[in-house]
Amino acid sequence: MTALARTARNILDDVWRTLKLMARNKVGFIGFLGLIGFILLTFVGPSLVPLAAESHMTDIYKPPSAQHILGTDFQGRDIWAQIVHGGKDVLIVAFLTGIISTTIAVTLGSLSAVLAGFFDSFIMWITDIWLTIPNFPVLAVLAVFVKLTNVWALAFILSLLSWPTLTRAVRAQVLSLKQRDYVEAARALDLGTRHIIFSEILPNMMSYIAISLVFSMTSAIYAQVALVFLGLVPFASNNWGVMLSLAWTRGAIFYKDSLLYIMAPVTAIALFQLTLVWMTRSLEEVFNPRLRTSV
Amino acid sequence: MSAVTQPSASSGLPLPIPVLLRRIASNFVLRRLVRALITIWIVITLTFFIIRLMPSNPVDIFIQEQMSLYGMTYDDARAQASALFSIRMDRPVFNQYLDYLGNLTHGDLGKSFKSFGTPVSSMVAKFLPWTLFSVGLSLLISFTLGMALGMIMAYRRESLLDHILSTIGSVLSSVPNYLVAMVLLVFLGVQWKLLPLAQMRGSMTPGIQPGFTLEFLGDILFHAAMPVTTYVLTTVGGWMLTMKSSTITTLEEDYVTVARARGLPDSRIMTAYVGRNAMLPLFTQLAISVGFIVGGSVLIEAIFVYQGVGKMLIDSINQRDYPVMQAVFLIITIAVILANFLADFLYSRLDPRVRTTGGGEA
């Protein structure tokens, strides 16, 4: 067996073990499969399902058929195709926000717990103040002054709003882990700060960090779709928020036939949120070092 | 004997313990009050910074618009802007800032661009009560309902009811509230036509006389019903699940076991021993929840066309009515900060441990 084949085998083993851990929690596993489904839908789907941009005035609000599985919208365009093409912005902004805010939170939170003293009180004071200011109005007002036209700008602003909750959580977690027996033992054995942080504390926090990441993703989805829906973020392309906004203003409250047009983005967004929340249950099992070694 | 009933008598401290406790308690509250005031000051300063000092700030935009659209001179346009924002533009920026702070303490929030010259404070006075009413009512319902259901779930752990409620709770609390609002409106109003949605818009039927009459109360409840239902549906799950886990932990506490051993009736244990202690973690969540609901009211009020400050904020943003926008933003934020302070205060009253340890540090 060559070395390459061996590493490939190791990776496969790892993946298999992770999947087995995932499957320990049924709801979590469904969430995980759902997430894979959404990723495939939004990143692979567009190359399979063509998006028709032109309108067909004869096909307005058609019920589902073999040609249009979710029917058509107020301009006779296929709804399913819009769903497939509309998830990209939402997913990318969510992932970016999750990663940026988790990075800030893990850095500040663990520094706060380790350094203690003035730095700690200062950071906690800022998070305290930041947490009492209602997020969405801040975002709505900021959107007027800051051009949030690309996903990076939007993700950055959303991260600015979600880091305090995570920072506090990470700090609390580090504080409690610092006093565990195995950390004390490592310290008594003089294993070094780096070993303590990377081999003792971080692995035990991974599940926590992963779950926080997912929750900051869900709040990013909440906020960005809302901003697009209110017309505060000018996304020209297809996007679930844009669909929602159009469906709302162009038909949902007047025409009975428009039910699928509004329900399609509603269901997509709600399902994606649920998928993420459910997946957190499996993440707990996957990142738990005790389970990891025993399976 | 005296040591048991009067610990302070034997401890020989210079201060009697009740006095000391009260001081620490007032300290906790005082600390939170100072924090609330500082937060308000920071928000005001940030708002001033945004409207006055940002590269494309509304005051400059307004002055330029007046000059290019109506051919005003710079001085005239500046005078116009000064009047609308209640800021004297000819003074140095720092003095403008001090003026701005001074105006706010007098309740002078500037004047609206669009409904020309209307003081913003009178607009806020018209819209704010409706948001306070609908959000307050929802919190009350959701908090009480969540607490009751959470306790039932904890007492009947692993029962069918527990599983059903847990699932519903986790699903509802993970779906964004504006989606729930839309679904309610689309199905109840448009698809099944169960509710006369056009009549339910607004915060009250025009022409009805405000007062403590059944007709008026019925009318405002009728108009608030949809927003309140949405808020309750999307928040009750969180309360329920927190209450459940909190009750389960409390049930294992020694003092509950002791109370059982003493043969106290179950109903008394449930209310005075378990309930009272289990609801404490909910109060810390109350603060976050208030901010979230008030923040969400921006969306919910826009969807149901409910005339509160949330809708006022969105309208002013869409019309670029900056004085109204900054005022409403300040009002919403200050309301949330004060609500937070209230939650802290309630918490300190309810939890004796906070008084002694200064608690709440997690």
ipTM of this predicted complex?
0.81
Secondary structure class of A200 (helix, strand, coil): helix
The one-letter amino acid code at A66 reads A
> Whose CA is closest to B290, among B326, B341, B327?
B341
Identify the bridge partners of residue B111 per DSSP, sorted by sequence position.
B119
Nearest CB partner across the interface for A137, out of B171, B176, B313: B313
Calpha distance A96→A152 (Å, rounded): 8
Are A142 and A157 a contacting pair, CB within 8 Å? yes
Mutate to test the interface with B, among A26, A138, A141 (most CBs of B within 10 A): A141
Mean pLDDT value across chain B: 77
- Is-contact B290 B333, C-beta < 8 A? no
Look at residue B123 in the predicted model and tell me its pLDDT. Answer: 82
3-state helix, strand, coil in chain A (%, to 5): 80, 0, 20
Helix (H, G, I), strand (E, B) or coil at A78: strand
More confident residue, B287 or B315: B315
Rounded-to-integer distance, Cα A220 and Cα A91, Å: 10
Contacts of B121 (CB under 8 A, 6+ apart): B107, B108, B109, B327
Residues in chain B: 362
| Dihedral sign of CA atoms B277, B282, B286, B287 in order | positive
Identify which has the larger pLDDT, B4 or B121.
B121
The set of residues, in sequence order, having a beta carbon less than 8 Å from that of B296 and lying 6+ positions away, is A136, B177, B178, B231, B234, B310
Angle between helices A151-178 and A202-229 (to 10 degrees): 150
Chain center to CA of A71: 29
Of A140, A244, A266, the CB nearest to B317: A140
CB contact under 8 A, A230 and B302: yes
A140 in reach of chain B (CB within 8 A): yes
- Whole-number percent of chain B with pLDDT over 90: 1
CA B109, CA B325: separation in Å to the nearest integer?
10
Give A225's contacts in chain B (Cβ within 8 Å): 176
d(CA B159, CA B185): 33
pLDDT tens digits along B39-78? 888 888 888 777 766 666 667 777 777 777 777 777 777 7
Calpha distance B134→B229 (Å, rounded) = 10
Single-letter code of the amino acid located at B32: R
Q: At B14, which amino acid appears?
A: P
CA-based nearest residue in chain A for residue B193:
A256
- Dump pLDDT digits (tens) for B130-164: 888 888 889 889 988 988 888 888 888 888 888 88
Look at residues A95, A101, A72, A16 and name the one whose alpha carbon lies nearest to residue A258. Answer: A72
How far A10 CA sits from the closest chain B CA (Å)? 37
Residues whose CB falls within 8 Å of the CB of residue A235, separated by 6 or more in sequence, listed in order: A89, A149, A228, A241, A242
Residue A290: which of A21, A19, A13 has the closest Cα?
A21
Amino acid at B196: P
Q: What token pair was written down for A196? A: 């303590």
Judged by a CB distance cut-off of 8 A, whether residue A135 touches chain B is yes
Q: How many residues does chain A have?
A: 295
Nearest beta carbon to residue B333 from set A137, A232, A259: A137
From the list A145, A225, A259, the residue facing B56 with the nearest CB is A145
Task: Give the ranges where chain B is alpha helix by DSSP (H).
Answer: 2-5, 7-11, 17-53, 58-70, 74-85, 93-105, 120-155, 160-174, 177-184, 197-200, 214-251, 254-261, 266-268, 276-278, 280-304, 309-318, 322-350, 352-357
- State CA B195 to chain mean position distance: 28
Please tell me the distance in Å from A56's CA to the nearest CA on chain B: 25
In the chain, the amino acid numbered A44 is V
| pLDDT greater at residue B261 or residue B31 | B261
Q: Which of B175, B186, B295 sits opposite A252 (nearest CB)?
A: B186
pLDDT, position B10: 44
On whether any CB of chain B is under 8 Å from the CB of A271, the answer is no
pLDDT the model gives residue B20: 65
Query: Could you tell me which residues are beta bridge partners of residue A72?
Result: A78
Q: Spell B62-92 as b/e; 16+ CB within 10 A means b.
A: bbebbeeeeebeeeebbbbbbebbbbebeee
Q: How confident is the model at residue B6 (pLDDT cuts 50, 70, 90)?
A: very low
Give the phi and the psi of residue B359 in degrees, each rounded to 5.
Answer: -5, -165
- The residues, ordered by sequence, that sit 6+ positions from B4 with a Cβ below 8 Å of its Cβ are none
* CA separation for the pair A229, A203 (Å, rounded): 39
**pLDDT at res. B141:** 92
Per-residue pLDDT of chain A (295 residues; tens, 9 = 90+): 577 787 888 778 877 777 777 777 777 888 888 888 888 888 887 777 777 666 666 666 667 776 677 677 766 677 787 888 888 888 888 999 989 988 888 888 888 887 778 888 888 888 888 877 888 888 888 887 777 777 888 888 888 888 888 888 888 888 888 777 887 888 788 777 777 777 777 777 777 788 888 888 888 888 888 888 887 877 666 788 888 888 777 766 666 667 777 888 888 888 888 888 888 877 777 776 666 555 4
Cβ neighbours of residue B331 closer than 8 Å, sequence gap 6 or more: B124, B128, B309
Residues A106 and A110: their CA atoms lie apart, in Å, by 6
Q: What is the pLDDT of residues A224-242, one digit of tens each?
A: 888 888 878 776 667 888 8
Q: What pLDDT does B87 receive?
A: 66
Q: Which helix (H) or strand (E) holds B71?
A: none
Q: What is the phi-psi region of residue B244: left when phi exceeds 0, alpha when psi lies from -120 to 50, beta otherwise?
A: alpha
Residues 6+ apart with CB under 8 A from B247: B150, B151, B153, B154, B155, B274, B275, B278
Q: Can you give the pLDDT at residue B2?
A: 40
Q: Which of B:194-223 have CB within 8 Å of A?
A: 197
pLDDT for the residue B24: 55
Using CB atoms within 10 Å of the CB of residue A58, give its burial: 0 to 12 exposed, 13 to 18 middle, 19+ buried. Answer: exposed
- CB of A90 closer than 8 Å to CB of A221: yes
Q: Which helix (H) or strand (E) holds A245?
A: helix A240-247
| Exposure string for B171-180, b = 16+ CB within 10 A, e = fewer | ebbbbbbbbb
The interaxial angle of helices B309-318 and B322-350, nearest 10 deg, is: 150
- In this prediction, residue A86 carries a pLDDT of 80
CA distance B34 to B22: 18
Place of tokens 């070993």: A195
> What stretches of B71-119 show up as alpha helix (H) in DSSP?
74-85, 93-105
Taking a C-beta distance cutoff of 8 angstroms, is the pair B109, B119 a contact? yes
pLDDT on residue B11: 46
* Contact criterion met (CB < 8 Å) for B175 and A270: yes
**Spatial separation of the C-alpha atoms in residues B162 and B155, rounded to whole Å:** 9
Q: How far is A9 from chain B (nearest CA, A)?
A: 38
A47 touches chain B (CB under 8 A): no
Question: For A258, which DSSP code?
Answer: G
Judged against a pLDDT cut of 60, whether residue B5 lies above it is answered with: no
CA distance B164 to B156: 12
For residue B323, the model assigns a pLDDT of 76
pTM, entire model: 0.79
